[in-house]
Amino acid sequence: MKQNRILLTAWLVFTVFIYAFSVDEEPNTEPFVVVELYTSQGCSSCPRADKVLEQISETYKGKNVFALGFHVDYWDRLGWKDTFSKHEYSQRQYAYGQRFKNASVYTPQMIVNGSAEFNGGNASKAFSLINRGLKAKAVATLEGKITESETQLPITYAISEVLYDKYSIHAALIKNKEKVSIKRGENSNKQIVYHNIVLDLTTTNALKKGKIVLKKPKDYDHENYTVLLFLQEKNNGPIISAKRVNHS
């Protein structure tokens, strides 16, 4: 009888230990959605989609829905140079075009979690895909923090166990809002307020732990800027995790 009690006690201790370990080590795989809008200040079809991006940002404020406005540069030669455009964003969209087997790129184009693309002015489709995405857990855990300096935003990150060589990690510097007066091109004489503008996107191979450094804008503050980390299968595949980065 005494031996049985000892065995029972040992089994209970072991069970509690395993349970506690599993709870502590369980990844924080909260649902998330990353919405990318490819847009341009020179595109007359884009203001409607820019408004949809704003609606997404407002509707899901405080939730793990991250709206990103990527301003492409291939409209710049048509009368107005977009003040936020970068060739790297055009290249990112071209890579998506190859993956989705599109005949050509276009604006406004919206992409959800790197997995579905559609016209960015289609609000009902955007909200439907976002709500669907919020029912699925992230594949990996991603954590990060910023240690701010005078001219840089150094970000340290950690990723749960994945096949690291299969993924890239992106750090996006996002300006939350800015009004632009457009003087030429298809949107001539319009004032448009843009939201969630990606000013910088730095990409590197994913590691278990690593560091990415973003250049700090002169007007940087915590209210008007957001820094986002997201983990994506290479060659613009599905996005499997995303995390807003806080300051340490």
* DSSP per-residue string spanning 112-174: ETTTEEEETT-HHHHHHHHHHHTTS--SS-EEEEE---SSEEEEEEEE-SS-GGGEEEEEEEE
Q: Which residues pair with 210 in a beta bridge?
A: 157
Confidence class of residue 161 from pLDDT cuts 50, 70 and 90? confident
Distance CA 150, CA 132 (A): 41
DSSP annotation of 109 reads E
More reliable by pLDDT, 155 or 147: 155
The phi and psi torsions of 85 (rounded to 5 degrees) equal -70, 150
C-alpha–C-alpha distance, residues 177 and 195, integer Å = 4
* Predicted pLDDT at 164: 83
pLDDT at residue 173 tops 50: yes
SS3 189: coil
Q: Does 85 or 150 have the greater pLDDT score?
A: 85
Q: How much is the average pLDDT of 221-229?
A: 94
Report the C-alpha gap between 47 and 53 in whole angstroms: 10
Rounded to an integer, the average pLDDT of 81-101 is 98
- Per cent of the chain over pLDDT 90 is 80
More confident residue, 29 or 55: 55
Higher confidence at residue 26 or residue 154?
154
Question: What is the set of domains in the chain, with CATH numbers?
Answer: 33-247 (2.60.40.10)
pLDDT of residue 28: 55
Q: Which residues of 50-83 are buried (b: 16+ CB within 10 A; e: fewer)?
A: bbbbbebbeebeeebbbbbbbbbbbbbeeebebe
Average pLDDT of span 27-49: 92
Mean pLDDT of 28-42: 93
Tokens at residue 18, please? 């395993």
Characterize the bridge pairing of strands 239-244 and 225-233: antiparallel
Cα atoms in the Cβ-side hemisphere of radius 13 Å centred on 198: 30
| Averaged pLDDT of the chain | 89
pLDDT classification of 158: cutoffs 50, 70, 90:
very high
> Is residue 49 within 8 Å of 37, Cβ to Cβ?
yes
What's the longest Cα–Cα distance across the chain? 91
Mean pLDDT for the stretch of residues 94-116: 97
Determine the Cα–Cα distance for residues 177 and 234; give it in Å rounded to an integer: 30
pTM for this predicted structure: 0.88
Measure the CA–CA gap between 14 and 187, rounded to whole angstroms. 68
d(CA 204, CA 30) in angstroms, rounded, equals 23
pLDDT band at 29, cuts 50/70/90? confident
